[in-house]
């Protein structure tokens, strides 16, 4: 009888089918510990008189209970893994946010340094332009020097000639 039961009910699907076919659970209903407990009570209530049916029923319920236990253990393990993954992701997210903030700070620092450097370079250029303007204002241009030089040269030449005449007159 046990061998017949083992041959007929091999796994969770055939166990569920046997329980539903023998009206120990409603078709489409999720098998829980409560529904399987009720199925055991029905099995013991005298609904099944044949030992073969009793053995098959107990086997089917035991297989379904084992599957529920494995599912629960798997679900618990998945929940534990999920919590651990969430912690790792949270830590990684915080680390990434920290790196992003540090990177932003470095970029702002680089930008202000660049602007400062650009501003200093601009100041240097402005100072050079001012110096050139002052030099050009104090130093006459080539054209101005020629124009002014010919007048001053002529005046100084005339003055030199007059002085030479005076000196010759005194010498004589």
- Render pLDDT for 94-151 as a digit per residue (tens, 0 to 9): 889 888 888 888 888 888 877 777 666 666 776 777 777 666 655 556 666 666 655 5
Specify whether the CB–CB gap between 12 and 67 falls below 8 A: yes
- Render pLDDT for 34-81 as a digit per residue (tens, 0 to 9): 888 888 888 888 777 777 787 788 888 888 888 887 877 777 788 888
Question: Number of helices (H) and strands (E), helices first, in the chain?
Answer: 5, 0
Specify whether the CB–CB gap between 4 and 51 falls below 8 A: no
Quote the crossing angle between the two packed helices 51-138 and 12-21, to the nearest 10°.
130
């Amino acid at each position: 009888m046990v061998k017949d039961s083992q041959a007929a009910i091999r796994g969770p699907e055939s166990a569920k089918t046997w329980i539903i076919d023998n009206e120990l659970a409603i078709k489409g209903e999720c098998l829980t510990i409560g529904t399987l407990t009720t199925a055991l009570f029905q099995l013991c209530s005298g609904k099944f008189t044949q030992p073969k049916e009793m053995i098959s029923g107990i086997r089917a319920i035991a297989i379904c209970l084992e599957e529920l236990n494995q599912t629960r253990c798997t679900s618990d393990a998945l929940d534990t893994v999920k919590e651990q993954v969430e912690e790792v992701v949270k830590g990684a997210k915080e680390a990434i946010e920290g790196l992003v903030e540090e990177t932003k700070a470095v970029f702002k620092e680089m930008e202000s340094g660049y602007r400062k450097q650009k501003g200093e370079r601009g100041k240097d250029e402005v100072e050079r332009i001012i110096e050139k303007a002052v030099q050009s204002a104090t130093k006459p241009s080539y054209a101005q020097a020629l124009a002014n030089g010919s007048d001053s040269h002529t005046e100084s030449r005339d003055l030199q000639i007059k002085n030479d005449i005076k000196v010759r007159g005194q010498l004589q």
